[in-house]
Amino acid sequence: LLRLTKHWSESGSDFLELDLRKEKHLAISRFLHQSILLKLDWCKPQELEIKAQGNFHENWNFEWSPDQEMTLIQAAIHASTIEDAIYYYVLDLLEQSNDFISLAHTLEHGLKANLDKLWPMISDKINLLSIKSNEVESLCALIRPLISTISYGNLYQMDTKILEKIINQIIPKIILEFGTQCSFIKGDKAKRMLKCLDLISTFFLHSENIEYHQLWKDELINNSNLESIHPLVRGKIWYKILEDKYLSEDEFITELEYQLLNISDAQKTAYWIEGFMYQSTSFYLMQDFSLTLINHWISQLEEIKFKEVLPLLRRSFSELNTTEILRIKTKLRQQSNTNQASPIHLFLDPERTKQIETMLSNLQ
């Protein structure tokens, strides 16, 4: 009926676009979400862009393997219908798991599978866990699936009040705990908190709650000046502050000058730059004065410290596109040509300059 047989074979096509405004496509979507709840890995939804969350489209990838037939047979042992088999698996999950991510994704698939009796149960479990938890990473894992599920539920006139209650419960916790949980942490944890910061930003793309916006603005500004915040996160905070126009570019230059005064702990400064450029454009760092400051800072580093920060800087600038890299190289050459007798030029080491130019060339 749904004509998905061609996807359940080794020679089948591996991609499908669905328009959920079409009745048949909506039926296919619900069946595929049911397949996921049955632990069948033959289909996987593509993650849509943030701004596309909750619209009428889904894209699916398919990858068939003989193991899927065995999984299907095992599911049949527990029940005689798809709905009852899913119900069995979900009850087991609710008993055994306190993992926010698993529960949130099960909630999302349960709603999109049109299994009404499932998702209120999962919502209650998530709600209970979120009340008890203040752990930012775990709570942030709920943001994207909750937004997607609420948007989907609103499209199909489903009652999503419990989900809205959960997200309104966790967002203030996340905002107020964010700075504390970014303080006195190591690099690996800081990288995970960068992703949390992006997830919080995802929420504000969908929310018009003025109170939460003001709370987040105040926390970002407060945390931007805390030395205890890991420099990777602090750099990203400064980018968000500029992007949302919470502070001026003059204040940014003051912060950048402060960061680049740190010669003794060059790695800390390099982390700040990496955080600032994480999944963002280099617009502010490409301004003439910013480039001059960074160039001056690099030129003053001792050889050991330079080698220490080079991998971090390489990683930071590797995310830029070719056009941006060429603009930076052009600006640096122009500065070099117009400031032949400047203090900056006198500090430059020919061998080090060659290494930087080679690095930039390799990034193109």
For the stretch 258-267, pLDDT in tens is 999 877 889 9
The pLDDT, as a whole number, for residue 325 is 81
The pLDDT, as a whole number, for residue 318 is 83
Token output for 37: 């709840």
Length in residues, the chain: 364
DSSP state of 25: H
CA distances from 172 to 92, 195, 201 (A): 31, 18, 13
The pLDDT, as a whole number, for residue 236 is 95
The pLDDT, as a whole number, for residue 346 is 41
Distance CA 148, CA 58 (A): 12
Distance CA 38, CA 247 (A): 50
Strands 15-19 and 43-45, bridge-based pairing: unpaired
- Name the CA dihedral angle for 186, 192, 197, 202, rounded to a multiple of 10 degrees: 180
Token output for 336: 């070099």
The pLDDT, as a whole number, for residue 56 is 84
The pLDDT, as a whole number, for residue 342 is 47
Burial of residue 289 (number of CB atoms within 10 Å: 0-12, 13-18, 19+)? exposed
Inter-residue contact 331 to 286 (CB < 8 Å): yes
For the stretch 312-327, pLDDT in tens is 888 888 888 888 888 8
Enclosing H/E stretch for 115: none
Mean pLDDT per 10-residue section of the chain, whose length is 364 residues? 80 82 94 95 79 70 88 91 94 93 93 89 94 95 92 87 93 97 97 96 91 97 96 96 91 91 88 90 75 87 91 86 82 73 50 70 65
State whether the Cα torsion 231-233-238-239 is positive or negative.
Answer: positive
Distance CA 150, CA 53 (A): 10
Nearest partner of 296 among 360, 358, 347, judged by Cα: 347
Distance CA 238, CA 242 (A): 6
The pLDDT, as a whole number, for residue 343 is 46
The pLDDT, as a whole number, for residue 333 is 82
Inter-residue contact 12 to 6 (CB < 8 Å): yes
Helix (H, G, I), strand (E, B) or coil at 63: coil
Helix (H, G, I), strand (E, B) or coil at 61: strand
